[in-house]
Amino acid sequence: MKIIVNGDDFGFSQEINNNIIKCHNDGILTSTTLIAYGEGFEEAVALSKSHPKLGIGVHLVLDGEYTLINTPASLVDSKSGYFYKYRDAIKKIRNGSFCHDDLVKEYSLQIEKVLDAGIKVTHLDHHHHLHRYFPVLNAVMEVSKKYNIQYVRPQKIISLDKIPFHKKMYRELHHFLLKRKCKTIDGYFGLFSTSKDIMKKRFEYALALNKNVIELMVHPSKNNGEIDFLTDKEIVRLCKNKLTNYGEL
């Protein structure tokens, strides 16, 4: 089995950029996804070019206070001039306020910004997992094909925790549809704890599964303990010969 360790939010800030590069250089992080509208975007581009073994994807964004250029008006909160806040964006997705063509246009703008910076894009995922909703997923799959970006992060969760049956079935259907249109992997998991013991338990559980490729999604910061975990010598040892990234698949 192979494991991709992906750091989300590359380009969000200088601090996040530094944390991701540290976990790549000193630990098991193999991949990251870049926010086109992040304040640390230019620095992240430079760092990616000086770390050629780090796989770079696009972290598509549809919510939050980002400076927007040419974004379709339907996706923008007219009061703030930014994307809608997270919960408001979900409501808009669910009630069909975001039309498909506007989503495709916006995601195209974000992907093209990354491509124009000279980055070879290996995969797509979405800030706050908004592509778990089918209207967003359809737009993501369309731009994946448009720009020949083969891999999209799945929403099939690998977890020790019990998942309610209806949520599990929804994600199974999501996974089935994603696999019909794009390439993806067997599932993803997160550490979802600040306790090193719990992190290790979740990690070892995932590694013991009979899967081909899975993704560990991380957000390395000083507060959540992930930097120490991802650079821990024992964790590095457990991952020997298992690490890969989307570009190597």
Distance CA 241, CA 185 (A): 18
Burial of 104 (0-12, 13-18, 19+ CB in 10 A): middle
- Give the domain range for residue 240: 2-248
Is the full-model pTM beyond 0.75? yes
Number of domains in the chain: 1
pLDDT, one tens digit for every residue, the chain (249 residues)? 999 999 999 999 999 999 999 999 999 999 999 999 999 999 999 999 999 999 999 999 999 999 999 999 999 999 999 999 999 999 999 999 999 999 999 999 999 999 999 999 999 999 999 999 999 999 999 999 999 999 999 999 999 888 999 999 999 999 999 999 999 999 999 999 999 999 999 999 999 998 999 999 999 998 999 999 999 999 999 999 999 999 999
CATH number at residue 64: 3.20.20.370
